[in-house]
C-alpha cells in the first residue's frame, strides 16, 4: 500500500487547523484520539476554530468527535454553543429529509423518475447519519424531458423560482442554462434545486446523466426506501462538483475521504468510468487532497490507475495553500476556466471545452437585447450585436 504523503506543515502549524483536520472524519483511530487530546490542551483559539468549522461546513464532525474524545476538556462556554448549533442543524436535516420524501413521493405518483443526491441522501449513504454532513438545500436529479412537469408540481407545493416569471421561457432556459438546474425556494426557507445533469454543460461529460443512473440502488432514509447513487458514481460526481467549486471547502474533501475509506468499492469500475470520461486527473486531485491533509491512504489499485501526474500534484498543492487562507470576495465564485481546463488530461476534451466556453461567452444575453431591441425573427443577429455592445461599453467606461 502506498504511504501517505508527509502532512503539509503550513496547514497544521496552527493548533486550530490541526484540531479541525483531526476531527473531520467519521473513523477516529487511537493515534488521532491522542492527538486531539493533546491539541485541546494547547492554547486553542476556540472562536477561530468554530469560525473555520462553519466556513468549511464541518461543524457536525467537529462537535461529534470532540464530544466522543474529550468532552470534559473543551470549555463549556465553547462546547455549549457548539452543541446547540449541532442540534439545530440536526433538526433542520430531519425537516429537510421529510420534505425530500414528500417531493419524491409526489414525483413517483406522477411517473417522474427522480434520484436525490447530495443533501440527506448523501449524508445517510456516506456518513450513516443525517446529522454528520451539513447541507443547506435539497438536490434532485430528473430527466430533462420531465423538467416542465416537475416544475409545475413544485410550484403547487408553494415553491417560487428565482430566475424567471414567464413560464413560456422555460423551454429556452432548459435548453441554454449552463448549470442545468432550476433553483427554487419556499417562504419557510427551504431551498430546492432540480437538476437534469450532474455536471455543468461546459464540463463536457458525455451521456450525463443517463450513464450515472444505470447503477442506482435503494437505501433507507428516515424509514422510507429511496433511490441513491452507488459510492463509485458518487466519487466521480462529487469530484466534478468539488472542481466546480474549486475544492474550496473542507467538506468537499471530507466526502472524497469518506468514499476512499470504504474497502469494498469496485475501483476497476471507477477507473473504467474515469478513463472513458477523461477524468483520471480530476479524481487524482481529490484523492491527493484526501491523502493530505486528511491522512487517507489511497487504495493501491486506485492509486496505480489514476493519472497522479505533476499537474495533478500541482493543482492539489494549490488547493492546499488556499484552503485555510483568509477568504476573499471570490471565495464562493465558481472555478474559472483555466482550472477546469488544466484538470482535464485529454486534448480532445480541452478542445471541446474551449469551443463551448467561447460559444457561451458569445451567446446573447438580456443586456444585448436591451441594448438594441429587435423582433424575434432577427434574434440571430444578437451574435453580431454582442461585440458591438462590448465595444460601446468599453468606450463609455473609458
pLDDT in tens, 7-55: 455 567 799 999 999 999 999 999 999 999 999 999 899 999 999 999 9
CA distances from 142 to 14, 104, 227, 367 (A): 44, 11, 12, 31
State the average pLDDT over residues 333-345.
Answer: 83
Looking at the chain, the whole-number percentage of residues with pLDDT higher than 70 is 93
d(CA 36, CA 34): 5
Confidence of residue 2 (pLDDT cuts 50, 70, 90): very low
Contacts of 169 (CB under 8 A, 6+ apart): none
CA distances from 162 to 174, 181, 185, 397 (A): 14, 12, 8, 30
Strand ranges inside 191-292, DSSP E: 191-195, 217-221, 224-228
Single pTM value for the model: 0.89
Find where cell 476538556 sits. Answer: 73
**Least reliable range by pLDDT among 66-70, 314-318, 336-340:** 336-340
Where along the chain do its domains lie? 93-229, 365-397
Contacts of 151 (CB under 8 A, 6+ apart): 161, 170, 182, 194
Determine what percent of the chain falls in helix, strand and coil, rounding each to the nearest 5. 60, 10, 30
The pLDDT tens digits of the residues spanning 221-280 come to 999 999 999 999 999 999 999 999 999 999 999 999 999 999 899 999 999 999 999 999
May I ask the CATH architecture of the domain 93-229?
A: 2-Layer Sandwich (3.30)
Amino acid at each position: 500500500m502506498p504511504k501517505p504523503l508527509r502532512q503539509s506543515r503550513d496547514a497544521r502549524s496552527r493548533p486550530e487547523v490541526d484540531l479541525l483536520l483531526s476531527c473531520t472524519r467519521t473513523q477516529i483511530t487511537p493515534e488521532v484520539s491522542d492527538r486531539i487530546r493533546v491539541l485541546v490542551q494547547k492554547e486553542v483559539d476556540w472562536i477561530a476554530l468554530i469560525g473555520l468549522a462553519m466556513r468549511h461546513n464541518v461543524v457536525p464532525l467537529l462537535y461529534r468527535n470532540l464530544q466522543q474524545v474529550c468532552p470534559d476538556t473543551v470549555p463549556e462556554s465553547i462546547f455549549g454553543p457548539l452543541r446547540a448549533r449541532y442540534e439545530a442543524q440536526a433538526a433542520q436535516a430531519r425537516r429537510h429529509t421529510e420534505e425530500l420524501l414528500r417531493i419524491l413521493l409526489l414525483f413517483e405518483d406522477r411517473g417522474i423518475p427522480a434520484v436525490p443526491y447530495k443533501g440527506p441522501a448523501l449524508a445517510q449513504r456516506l456518513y450513516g447519519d443525517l446529522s454528520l454532513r451539513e447541507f443547506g438545500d435539497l438536490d434532485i436529479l430528473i430527466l430533462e424531458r420531465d423538467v416542465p412537469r416537475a416544475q409545475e408540481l413544485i410550484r403547487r407545493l408553494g415553491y417560487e423560482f428565482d430566475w424567471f416569471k414567464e413560464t413560456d421561457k422555460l423551454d429556452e432556459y432548459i435548453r441554454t442554462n449552463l448549470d442545468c438546474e432550476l433553483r427554487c425556494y419556499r417562504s419557510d426557507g427551504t431551498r430546492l434545486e432540480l437538476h437534469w445533469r450532474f455536471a455543468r454543460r461546459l464540463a463536457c461529460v458525455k451521456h450525463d446523466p443517463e450513464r450515472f443512473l444505470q447503477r442506482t440502488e435503494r437505501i433507507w432514509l428516515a424509514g422510507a426506501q429511496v433511490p441513491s447513487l452507488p459510492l463509485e458514481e458518487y466519487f466521480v460526481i462529487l469530484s466534478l462538483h468539488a472542481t466546480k467549486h474549486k475544492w474550496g471547502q473542507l467538506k468537499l474533501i471530507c466526502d472524497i475521504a469518506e468514499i476512499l475509506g470504504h474497502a469494498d468499492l469496485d475501483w476497476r469500475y471507477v477507473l473504467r468510468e474515469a478513463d472513458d470520461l477523461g477524468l483520471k486527473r480530476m479524481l487524482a486531485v481529490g484523492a491527493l487532497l484526501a491523502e493530505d491533509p486528511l491522512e487517507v491512504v489511497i487504495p493501491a489499485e486506485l492509486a496505480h490507475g489514476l493519472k497522479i501526474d505533476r499537474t495533478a500534484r500541482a493543482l492539489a498543492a494549490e488547493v492546499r495553500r488556499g484552503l485555510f487562507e483568509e477568504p476573499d470576495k471570490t471565495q464562493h465564485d465558481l472555478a474559472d476556466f483555466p482550472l477546469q481546463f488544466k484538470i482535464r488530461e485529454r486534448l480532445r476534451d480541452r478542445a471541446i471545452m474551449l469551443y463551448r466556453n467561447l460559444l457561451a461567452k458569445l451567446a446573447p444575453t438580456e443586456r444585448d437585447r436591451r441594448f438594441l431591441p429587435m423582433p424575434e425573427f432577427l434574434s440571430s443577429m444578437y451574435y453580431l450585436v454582442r461585440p458591438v455592445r462590448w465595444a460601446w461599453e468599453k468606450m463609455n467606461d473609458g
